[in-house]
Structures are given as structure tokens and as C-alpha cells.
Structure 1
Amino acid sequence: MSRLLYLVVSVSGACILSLEILGTRVLGPFYGVSIYLWSALISITLAALSIGYFIGGRYADRGAGWRSLAFMLGAAGIWVLLIPVMRSGVINLASGMGLRAAVLVAATILFAPPLTALGMISPSAIKIKASSLGEVGQTAGDLYAISTIASVAAAIATGFWLVPHLGVNGLLSVIGGVLLVTAALCFGIDRKVIPAAVAVVLGLAGGLFPLPEAGAIPGTVELVESPYATLQVVDHKNVRYLLIDGGTHTIMGFGQGESLHRYTPVMESTQLLFDDTGKALLLGLGGGILARNFHEDGWSIESVEIDAEVARIAKEHFALPPMMSTYINDARRFLVDNDRQWDLIMMDAFGSSSIPFHLVTEEMFELCSERLTDDGVLSINVECREWNDPLVHSMAATLRTSFKHVWALPIAEPPNTLGNLILLATNREGFNFPEERLGDMGEAMRSGDQAFHWKVVQQNHAWDNRFEPGLDRGIVFTDDRSPVELWSEAINLEARRGLHEFFGEEGRVW
């Protein structure tokens, strides 16, 4: 009996941590994996467990038994199996709320019920195990220790192995199946044969045949759960998209494989700041179109990408040449470990929902400055709500702690709309852009090449409207203080509204 009780609390503890981690993958593709999503999931987990302990303690005093444990495990298991089916409906229900409220509501509906049921298990287990009042302390300590050890093991296994190999829906099915099979064992101890048999059948069926997710996206070429994000390659209206946690990172036309992201030609125009080709470093590979274009223009370019799956997708789905050099590493860690210098460093590692704070601090930009040649240039792609977004001014103020010159190349029109913006930073003396190197828009139009004309228009627009961000309007980000998430939230919400409206034409739901 004791061994089965230890098994019950172990399964309960392991499933609690796995569900908490899985919450980011269940909701992240819609809301983005931000500090707000993590805060919501942690808060809901703790609140649900508290309610479970409260209710479970009183229920245990009324006569805890194996049957009650079985019902708690079974209820949690069935709910977990239904999460993939319920997700789209819950997200739609909360879609009219602000981002913070929507995240809290969705997390509560999807995860609070099973976590509450699992929280009820420990008080009942203690009641069953303790044979006398003098053993309650040791019994509670033993059971909580075993449950916590199982939670630690599950947290490591979920992040390091299970999500990348089983996927989100697959792991939810395994968790639901394990809970139901454990419930069947408890029914068996209580000699309830029929409920035990039903629980076993449901558990095995749920684990082996997961329920299909509602609202699957038509046109999906590949969907993969990497250790870092949910990656999706989607073909829509003769255009291929790379979505990372539901945000668009690469847009490629099927014709010549060129980027249809408006910021890409502006980022490429930074090579016009140099009299000749040189050495470039790209931090954040995405679909690899930027790296490919620099390579074809004769630059010696290296790329750094933290996610090996992104690098693979870039080669398999976005025509990145296999021989191009890509290092799988964190961008800042790579710069720390390599003391080489480059003529141009391009930072393209930010998504709409997440700007890694350690990549936009004074310490990071000082490191970038040290890794540039004397005439080197740092260019950064950032998404913002308007040209004068507080994020732009704060990043510029932070850049000025290490660079003499900082310029902003705006892309969106009109200026108060969501879009990308390129920040340029350099320590060159007399930093001036050679206007004559930009393509002539009239000649580009007369050429009849629509792609070339579009590219020239984007570049001329950005450089004609360049400005120096006001340093007095921003704060300096440091490793100690970088409230970048505060501005990322508003950008994330606006960007995802646009995405859902765009893909929603065909009923696409994340």
C-alpha cells in the first residue's frame, strides 16, 4: 500500500510541474511567451494548488480513501486530455479582453481545474498513510519530499526531452493517460473493478490516440516543438511564413525566394555603408534569407542561432545554402567566447512577443562595440508601435553609452503604425550615408522588375526619413534594470491582432 501511495504522490507532483511548463507551449503560440504568460501560469498554478490543499484537507477529514484519490486523479486526467480540444474555444472566448486579462482567463480555464484536483491529493494521501497522530509530521514530510523530487525530475524531463520529442499534444496525452492509469490502480485497491477498467481504457486510449486539436491551421508544412519555441512553417497565398511562438519571423515569396518582410531590404542596405564587401555576423538566423543575400553579394557572413531547429528549417524550407556557417549558441554567449572582429554585426533576434533583455543592455552593446572593427557598424531590427516608440528611444540611449552615432531608419507608414525599425550604431568619424549608392526609384520602376522596384522603394523611404532618436526620452537598459517587457507587451498585442485578422480569413486559429 505504501509503495502505491508513494507512486500516487510522485505522479501528482510530476504532472503539476509538467503542466505548468506545458502552459507556455499551449498558450504561447497565441499570446507569445512573455513574462506576463509566465506570471499568469505561475500564479494560476499556486492559486489552484492552494484551493486544492484547502478543499482536499477538509475532504480528507471526512474519510479519505483510495476511491477519493482515484476520482481526483481521474478527473485531472480527463481534463488534461481535453485541453487540446478546448484550447481554441477558450482563446476565442478571451480574445476580446486585453492581453493580461486574456492570458489569465485562458490559463485559469485550461489549467486551474486539473491542478486543483492534483492539489487535493496530498492531504488525502497523508490521511491514508498516517496511522497515528504521532506519525503525521514524518508522514507529511516523506510524502511532500517524494512529490517534490518527482516534480524536479519532471521539470527537467519536460523541458530537456519530452516536449522536443513528444510535442505538446503528445505530452498532454501521456500525462492524461498516466493519471488515468494511476486512478485505475487506486480503484483496484478499493476493489472497484468496473471504474478501474474504464480508467485503464481511457488512459491507454488517451496516451496512444491523442485527441485532435481544434482549429488546426491549413497550409502548415511543418510544426515542431523545439526546446525554445513552437516553430511553424505555413504556406498561405503563395507566400511561405516562419512562425515562432505564433509570431511572424520570416516571409518568403515562392518566386525567387526573396524576403517580403519590408525591413529586410533596409537591413541589406547597411552594406552600402562600406566601399567593399567584408566580414559580417548575423545574430538571429530566422529563415536565413538575410544571411543568404549577404552571402550572394560576396560578404563573408557567419550566423548565430540559439535554436538548432530554426537552423534546420532555414535550410530545408527557406533555401539557406547548406554550406553557410551557422553557430548554435546564444548571441551574447557567442560574442563572449569569440574575440574576433567583424565589419558589420546585424541583430535580428527579436520577436513581437519577446525581446531577450540580455541582448539590449549597456553591457551587451559594449560587447558588440568591442567585436566591431574601427569603422564597423551595428544594425538592429526591432518591432515597435510607432517611430517614436519609448522602446526605440531607450534602445538608442543605451546604444549611445558605447557608440558615438545612433540613427533610426523607420519603415512603417504612417509613422504612428506598427512596424519594424532599424537602429544603426557606429564609432566612425563623420558618419554619413552615401546617398548616391541607393537605387533610383524612377529607374527601378522603368526596369519592369517589381521585386527590384519594391526593394529600392523600401530602402529610399527608410534613409530619406532617418532620424536621431532623442536620448532624453529613453532610459538606459542594464543587466540590472531592463524593463523591456513593459513595452513588448503592447507591441505583442497589436502585432498578434494583425496576424489573427490576416490569417483569420480562412479560419486559422492559434
Structure 2
Amino acid sequence: MGNHMQVQNFIRDNMPYQDAIPKWHPRYLYFTVFASGMTTLAIELSASRLLGNIYGTSNLVWANIIGLMLVYLTVGYFLGGRWADRSPKYSTFYRIIIWGAFLSGIVPLVARPVLRGAAEAVNDLNAGVAIGSFIGVLVLFSIPVTLLGCVSPFAIRLAIKEAHEAGKTSGTLYAISTLGSILGTFAPVLLLIPNLGTAKTFLTISVVLLAIGFLGLFLTEGKKVLRLLWMPPGLILLAVLVLSGPTRPAPDGMKLLYERDSAYNLIQIVEDSNGTRYLLLNEGQGYHSQWNPNGQFYRRTWDYFLAAPYFNNVPFTTADVHNICIIGLAGGTIAHQYTDAYGPIPIDGIEIDPAIIEASRQYLDLTMSNLHVIIGDGRYELNRLDKKYTVIGIDAYRVPYVPWHLTTQEFFEEIRDHLTENGVVVINVGRTDTDRRLVEAMTQTMLQVFPTAHTMDVPDSFNTILVATRQ
């Protein structure tokens, strides 16, 4: 009983001006905690897209994002509790919110030079993706996420009025923060990034939390908040200066025609001096599609897809190719080539990113009447199709981010069930000069389902074409 009274007296004696704080203030505190939880998860989800623009979205990148965010939050929890004990004031709390929000908005504005510099610094290392993304996250997110981590323990210190309510108050605050995190998980992916892009998503969630922090500080300290009013115009001015150019410049000798940050990719379309256009995604390593109005054959990886049907037993002619399904349609290079080589045969093209299709229709002439575009995941959409194909082409594998559900024996059994008796599956697999493990693993998996599998290394590239037949 004596210890309980001592704790209660300590809490009462150290309350942050409870008698002077209006009754609505604790409610606004809870609302602020909700907004802080939303911002924290929104930053983490948006960080994957920000880093994906340079390093892609491999498991290595995700591991660095999640791991380092947890480190920063851990530091924030530790410091926030001690900070609250030393300065248990609402004004201190709202200043933490304001600075955390402001620095979160700064992240995308400094991301371009920092991430490009990190990418260049580790370009010659085998672990370049891991080291580069590690450095990028370390520099960009450490301070704002740590400050946001201070919010929950600080809010608990402010909210507790009676010792016997400490558990209830703490649980309520953590529940409210988690509810905000749920909103912060879905809002960037489903709404903000597809419509605003990554940089403006960061700025939007930053401005929202900044406004909440300013209002709380104004209601607590009045005109003293004017000392920090330089932040919003400063953020806007910096955004205008930094975001006026492209996220990544076009390769040497090319001009940028189109750029958009979709829910899945940073999409760029560039054009060289010969009028040939290329689709670049994310970090821009390699061409995902190519198009020239004067011809559709480029002596690149896609040309090898045309040879796939001829791995059947002879005799086999062009007239035996009746249709094709393409998983990983992208800008439609394979669809263009099959149309030119085999005539206007029916083509079903599956692509998960609708923004790629939109850009390709505008810039890569993806307008063939024989092409039926299907938006969605390749495996799911294939299984919804009640058709059999002469050719199923898959162009969705690239190290280090390979969709694992498109590599299993069960997937290839589903492919086999969608092939005609003389049908073939042809796959583009990425590799390096010294590492062929993915090619070998894919070949062995395909041989569990198909009687024959063949490999063709594409000259002067890091690609191998695999062809499996039902015969």
C-alpha cells in the first residue's frame, strides 16, 4: 500500500501541468499518437519504393529496411521514455512530432543524391545491393524514425494520471498507435504512391503529421509556435528545387520520354538517336522492352522466344503456331515479334503493373488488335484462363528478385495443363558469367514436369533461354 501511494504521489507531482491543460488535450494526444503510428508504417512501406528505384525490391533490400527501422524504433523507445521523464511537457512532445514530421519530408528530397552516391560507391562489390541499401537507409531514415519512436513512450508518460490506470492507459495508446499503423500500411500502397508517386507520398504524410504537431503546439504554447513556421515553406521550396527533374537521368546518348512512379515500379521510357525506344524499370539495369517503328527484331533476348515452337518434333511449321500466352508482358516486345513472325494470332499478355501497359500503349505502340491484355499476377491470371496455348512465354525472372511462386514444380504443372499437345513453354532467366544456379535449378524443376528441357545462352548478355516441350 505504501509503495502504491508513493508511485501515485510521484505521478501526481510530476504531471505535465494537468490543472492548466484543457480536458480535450488528452484526446488530442491520442489522435496524435494515431497519426504518428500511421506515419511510421507509411514511411517504412514508402521506403521500399524509394530504395526500389535504385536497388530494386529484393529480399536483401526488404531485410535492410525492416531491420534498420526496428533498430531506429528501438533507440526511439529507449530515448523517448527517458526524455519524457526529464521533460514531461506537452510542448516537448509536440516539438518531437514536428521535427519527426519535417525530417520525414526531407527524406525523398535528399534520397536522389544519397542513394545514387551509395550505388556508385559499391558498384564494384558483389554485395552492392545490400551495402548500398544499408547505407541509404542508415543516412536517410535514422533521425526521423528514431524521433517517431520516441512518441509512444512519451505519450504514455503524459497520459498516465493514476498508477492503477497505467496498464489500461498504456494498452489503449499502443492499440491506437497500431490502428494508425494499419492505415499507414495500406494508404501508401493502395492510394498515395499510385496517384502521387513516392516523393509526394513522403511529403503528404509529412505535411499531415506536421500540421497535427503545429496545432498541438499552438494550443499548448500559443504564439511560440511561430518560431518553427519556417518549416512548411522551407519544405515546399526544397521540394520544388529537387523534384523538378527526373528521378534518374536517361542513359548516355538517350533522351527521357516518360517517367512515372507506379505502385510496383519506377517506369521510364527512353529513346536513342536511331528512334528506338526502351522500357526501363526501377534501378534501370537492362531493358525490359524495346520498340522501333521500322522493325521488331533486335538480336536481343526476345528474339530467341520466336524459336521456341521449333523444339517440337519435326515436321513443324509456322502454321502450327495458333496462339501464345505471355506472362510478364511489359512493353510488348515479344507480342510484337510473334505478330510479325506468325501473323495476327491470338495473344494473351499478363502484366501485373497497369501503369506499364498505359505507358507502353502511348510510347511503344502496344495497340495490336490481336493482343488481349490481362492485368494481374501471372500465375493467378493464367489459372483463370480456360484455354490451351501453343506457346507460353515467361519473362518474369531476374536476379535477385525472382517471383518464387513462378518457379515451383506445381506452377510448371499448371503451365503444362494449359499447353496443347505440341505446346512449349519458354522462359527468360537471368544469370551472371560465374553464377548459373538459377538456370540450373529452373532446368531441374522443369524436367520434373516436362520430358525435355533445352537451354540457350544469349550472346553478350546475362540471359539464358529455357525451352521445355510436352513431346
- TM bin (shorter chain): 0.7 to 0.9
The number of residues matched between the two structures is: 423
* Aligned positions of 1:130-169 closer than 5 A: 130-169=160-199
Q: Which residue of 2 aligns with 1:473?
A: none
Determine which of 314, 317, 327 is the counterpart of 2:363.
317
Question: Structure 1 CA distance, aligned partners of 2:270 and 2:437?
Answer: 32
The two structures have a TM-score, normalised by structure 1, of: 0.78
Tell whether the 8 Å contact from 1:250 to 1:259 is kept in structure 2 after alignment. no
Determine which of 76, 84, 90 is the counterpart of 1:60.
84
Task: Tell me, yes or no, if structure 1 residue 252 matches structure 2 residue 284.
Answer: no
Q: CA deviation at 1:220?
A: 2.8
Determine which of 258, 268, 283 is the counterpart of 1:222.
258
Matched residue type, 2:101: G
Q: CA deviation at 1:200?
A: 5.0
Q: CA deviation at 1:41?
A: 0.8
Question: Structure 2 CA distance, aligned partners of 1:259 and 1:31?
Answer: 30
Q: Which residue of 2 aligns with 1:294?
A: 338
**Residues 1:174 and 1:206: Cα distance change in structure 2 (over 3 Å):** farther
Any idea what the Cα deviations from partners look like across 1:400-445, whole Å, max 9, x if unmatched?
01001010011134xxxx51110000121xxxxxxxxxxxxxxxxx
- Of stretches 292-301 and 280-289 in structure 1, the one that deviates more from structure 2 is 292-301
Q: Which residue of 1 aligns with 2:269?
A: 233
Question: Structure 1 CA distance, aligned partners of 2:96 and 2:419?
Answer: 60
**Residues 1:251 and 1:346: Cα distance change in structure 2 (over 3 Å):** closer
Q: CA deviation at 1:131?
A: 1.2
Tell whether the 8 Å contact from 1:381 to 1:423 is kept in structure 2 after alignment. yes
Determine which of 112, 136, 145 is the counterpart of 2:142.
112
Q: Which residue of 1 aligns with 2:351?
A: 305
**C-alpha RMSD over aligned residues:** 2.2
Q: Which residue of 1 aligns with 2:51?
A: 27
- Of stretches 67-76 and 92-101 in structure 1, the one that deviates more from structure 2 is 92-101
Q: Which residue of 2 aligns with 1:262?
A: 300
The two structures have a TM-score, normalised by structure 2, of: 0.84
The unaligned stretches of length 5 or more in structure 1 are 429-510
SS of alignment partner, residue 33 of structure 1: coil
Question: Structure 2 CA distance, aligned partners of 1:159 and 1:85?
Answer: 20
Tell whether the 8 Å contact from 2:54 to 2:116 is kept in structure 1 after alignment. no
Any idea what the Cα deviations from partners look like across 1:242-274, whole Å, max 9, x if unmatched?
122224343535452536461111112224454
Matched residue type, 1:168: T
**Residues 1:255 and 1:339: Cα distance change in structure 2 (over 3 Å):** closer
Task: Tell me, yes or no, if structure 1 residue 210 matches structure 2 residue 239.
Answer: yes
Any idea what the Cα deviations from partners look like across 1:99-147, whole Å, max 9, x if unmatched?
2122112112111211100000111111111112222111111111111
Matched residue type, 1:380: I
Any idea what the Cα deviations from partners look like across 1:166-188, whole Å, max 9, x if unmatched?
11111111122122222212321
* Aligned positions of 1:83-482 closer than 5 A: 83-95=107-119, 96-97=121-122, 98=127, 99-194=129-224, 196-197=225-226, 199-200=228-229, 202-203=231-232, 206=235, 210-211=239-240, 212-213=242-243, 216-218=248-250, 219-238=255-274, 239-247=276-284, 248-252=286-290, 254=292, 256=294, 258=296, 260=298, 262-273=300-311, 274-275=316-317, 276=319, 277-296=321-340, 297-298=342-343, 299-323=345-369, 324-386=371-433, 389-413=436-460, 419-428=462-471
Question: Structure 2 CA distance, aligned partners of 1:257 and 1:315?
Answer: 17
The unaligned stretches of length 5 or more in structure 2 are 1-24
SS of alignment partner, residue 102 of structure 1: helix
Matched residue type, 2:415: C
Q: Which residue of 2 aligns with 1:442?
A: none
Question: Structure 1 CA distance, aligned partners of 2:383 and 2:172?
Answer: 45
SS of alignment partner, residue 402 of structure 2: coil
